[in-house]
Chains A and B, each alone.
Chain A
Amino acid sequence: MTTTIITTAPSVPGQAAALGAARVLIVCGSGGVGKTTTAAALAAAEATAGKRVLVLTIDPAKRLATALGLEAVGNNETRVSLPADVDQRGELWVAMLDTSASWDDLVRRHAPDAHTRDRILANPLYRNITQRFVQSHDYIAMERLHELAESARFDLIVVDTPPSRHAIDFLEAPERMKDFFTSALLRWITLPYRIGGERAGRLGYLASKPFYQIADRILGSQFLQDVAEFFLLFQGMYDGFVQRATSVAELIGATETAFVVVTTPEPAPMHEADFFTAELAKRGLRLGAAVMNRVAPSAMADLGGTSPLATESIALASSFLERIDLETEVLDAADVASETASERAALRRIAIAAAETHLQQIQLAEHQRRQFQRFCLNAERRVALPESADPIDDVASLATIGRLIINPAAAPSAPKRASTRRRQ
């Protein structure tokens, strides 16, 4: 199937080509809209154009490997081979964020000394936070993005994020980490340990205070001790956390960083996309592209237009279906046992199915076209991608899709009528 694309005019025409100049692309959207595929497509497009590109997925599910046809993608970067007919100076790398391993790396890198490092790694609370709970993904993903951006090993880093409400958490993660390490409650709970040293760090010392009584009754003193130890140990790394949180915030707000919001033309993901877009605007972050995935191919012909789609074929299909209803009795009367009659009946069944399927598809297409017309109007570019009946499973087809998002005007396979449509 020919892949077609339709964009509407970007709100800021001069920036339309700038998506290809981005150093970081952060791909967001609801679950199940093709976000990972979009991230992989953007990366593949830039890699096949000669850039060194890494795509980082921070979602706990192992999606990216499947999209790229890799058996297993780990915490470390894995290189994916490019098709033979493209610029071989490019590199495509894939990494899936392993929260636990990334935390361990972080501690090893930033712990003030070997003793602190070993005690952090052995703390039961640390193990639990980093191994079992998804929340710590957001923060460590930011750390990882920061580290990769600092290394300057890649011309472009594409980040695939969890569903969009979580993606907000992702944006806020460095700030929350900062708040966490400076919270008043944390000072309270570590107080006995800070003033009394480890040996004196028994809660009996403050047992008369209501706060500790309650905390102790609910959670037990051993647990409180683990908590206190964990934070005391981490305190030595606090300055680094704050410093990196600030750099990450700068990186996210830089003009070389753009967000790409992905959706499908269905109510729930559209709602999520609107929500996320509003959050980006509130934070003054750059919405580089809004992508509507899985648009019915029939809607693609005239995505920005208002006149009815496919009027001729609709008239053909509807008048045929009306006529065939009237003819049903004639058919029943015919000799269905004869070979000609059964051939004739099959042809009729196929004709009816084709007409009905076509009408359904056009109805869906009309609905989707209306959805697209109100979708993320403040994005620098808005792109619709047609639903493909066949799976997208190799780097070359991913790259084709990615190019359509980055540079729609240059899309070689886009029919003339559909190349660019300006809307008022």
Chain B
Amino acid sequence: MLFDRELLIVTGKGGVGKTTVASALSWAAADLGKRVLAVELDATGDLHTSLIGARPDVVPSYKPVERQQRLWSMSMDPEESLKEYLRTFLKIPVFTRIGVLSGMFDFVANAAPGVREIVTMGKVCYEVREQHYDLVVVDATATGHIVSQLDAPQAINELVGAGLIRSQTGWMQAILSDPARTGVVAVTTPEEMPVVETIELLERLRGRVNVDVAAVVVNRVLPEPLARADLAKFAAICSRPQELDSLVGGDTRLLRESIDFAVRQRRNRAGHLTHLLQAIGSTPVAFVPWLGSTEPGPSCTAAVASLLGEELGWP
């Protein structure tokens, strides 16, 4: 089962509903009795909004905050993370002068771009290793970026010959590449470009970056407006609409156009889905129907959590 893992990394092309899925997974796991830490990597606060609704008093915080029973959330801050890393982990004495440290961090992060990523993933892996929580769920960056994030330990290994940062990469890689502990949840919608990017992501994760894909979530799947058998009948009706008009009690042209649009739109998306399913292979897939123009918040998250539960099989 998905929640037997200790680290779930939720990613997907921008706009597919990644944050909603990450918060729904956190929500569902906490509901099942797990102690869960939900981490947003981009510090926009969207993950917290999606868990507890938009509230002016809720600000992104690096320190985990308990949002509801057994569910904590935090926002990544690479600089804070580096400080913590140096202080508690590399046994480097606390810097008194913050300016030196932040200048140092900017320099290191710019000079060796993998450092920013490793400090970020380092914090996530650290929480997993220390087992303060049963499950860590990461609302990760978009597909294009997640690969460099997951690849950071290996990249640093190759780039940095020695030093403490390098010596820390081994255990991170061990956590990330263990399918019993870590899995990526790839979120997509049944549209062309999200599907293309998801397929590319799966290839790259299975290739150089050795991280298991735990599940693929297909979000905003449109409902079937008409059963297959009725589709042929609908075509016949459209060429002779009088019978329909008299049943409904007026000119049904706009109604027919609506259904025609919905049918074509769904058919177009079904083609992308077929393509995706071929590429996925045996990885579990969950379909989440389109829920209308819902604002992100607890009610949307709860709805998606329950739909995901039905699809991915938790009670």
Residues of A within 8 A of B (CB): 1, 30-33, 36, 59-63, 66, 124-125, 128-129, 132-136, 162-163, 165, 180, 183-186, 189, 211, 214-223, 226-227, 230-231, 264-269, 297-298, 310, 312-313, 316-317, 319-320, 323, 346-351, 353-355, 357-358, 360-361, 364, 367, 387, 389-391
Residues of B within 8 A of A (CB): 13-16, 42, 46, 86, 90, 92, 100, 103-104, 106-108, 110-114, 117, 142-145, 148, 151, 155, 158-166, 189, 191-194, 196-197, 200, 225-227, 229-230, 233-234, 237, 243-244, 247-252, 254-259, 261-262, 264-265, 268, 292-293, 295-296
Determine which of B155, B200, B252, B292 lies in contact with A354 in the assembled complex, contact meaning CB atoms within 8 Å: B252
CA distance A227 to B104 in the complex (A): 14
In the complex, what residues of A have CB within 8 A of residue B90's CB?
217-218
Closest chain-A Cβ to B132's Cβ sits at a distance in Å of: 25
Closest chain-A Cβ to B37's Cβ sits at a distance in Å of: 23
- Cβ–Cβ contact B144 & A59, under 8 A: yes
- Cβ–Cβ contact A128 & B15, under 8 A: no
Given contacts A60-B144, A316-B248, A316-B249, contact A358 B268 (CB under 8 A): no
In the complex, what residues of B have CB within 8 A of residue A354's CB?
244, 248, 252, 255-256, 258-259
CA distance A265 to B116 in the complex (A): 34
In the complex, what residues of B have CB within 8 A of residue A165's CB?
42
In the A-B complex, the 6 residue pairs with the smallest Cβ-Cβ separation, listed nearest first, are A31-B14, A220-B163, A220-B162, A32-B15, A389-B264, A133-B113
CA distance A133 to B152 in the complex (A): 9
Count of chain A to chain B residue pairs whose CB atoms are closer than 8 Å in the complex: 212
- Cβ–Cβ contact A216 & B163, under 8 A: yes
Given contacts A60-B144, A358-B259, contact A347 B112 (CB under 8 A): no
- Cβ–Cβ contact A128 & B142, under 8 A: no
- Cβ–Cβ contact A31 & B104, under 8 A: no
- Cβ–Cβ contact A350 & B244, under 8 A: yes
Given contacts A349-B230, A367-B293, contact A389 B113 (CB under 8 A): no
Determine which of A32, A36, A62, A353 lies in contact with B16 in the assembled complex, contact meaning CB atoms within 8 Å: A32
Determine which of B14, B163, B237, B248 lies in contact with A163 in the assembled complex, contact meaning CB atoms within 8 Å: B14
- Cβ–Cβ contact A350 & B230, under 8 A: yes
Given contacts A217-B163, A268-B15, contact A134 B248 (CB under 8 A): no
- Cβ–Cβ contact A63 & B233, under 8 A: no
- Cβ–Cβ contact A358 & B163, under 8 A: no
In the complex, what residues of B have CB within 8 A of residue A319's CB?
249
Given contacts A217-B92, A319-B249, A347-B247, contact A364 B292 (CB under 8 A): yes
- Cβ–Cβ contact B112 & A128, under 8 A: yes
- Cβ–Cβ contact B196 & A223, under 8 A: no
CA distance A105 to B101 in the complex (A): 35
Closest chain-B Cβ to A133's Cβ sits at a distance in Å of: 4
CA distance A125 to B75 in the complex (A): 30
Which residue on B lies nearest to A371, using beta carbons? B293
**Which of B225, B251, B252 has its CB near the most chain A CB atoms (within 10 A)?**
B252
Given contacts A134-B144, A347-B247, contact A219 B160 (CB under 8 A): yes
Closest chain-A Cβ to B53's Cβ sits at a distance in Å of: 13
- Cβ–Cβ contact B13 & A32, under 8 A: yes
CA distance A354 to B243 in the complex (A): 14
Determine which of A30, A211, A317, A357 lies in contact with B14 in the assembled complex, contact meaning CB atoms within 8 Å: A30
CA distance A63 to B191 in the complex (A): 13
CA distance A229 to B104 in the complex (A): 18
CA distance A36 to B257 in the complex (A): 29
- Cβ–Cβ contact B161 & A357, under 8 A: no
In the complex, what residues of B have CB within 8 A of residue A265's CB?
293
- Cβ–Cβ contact A346 & B113, under 8 A: no
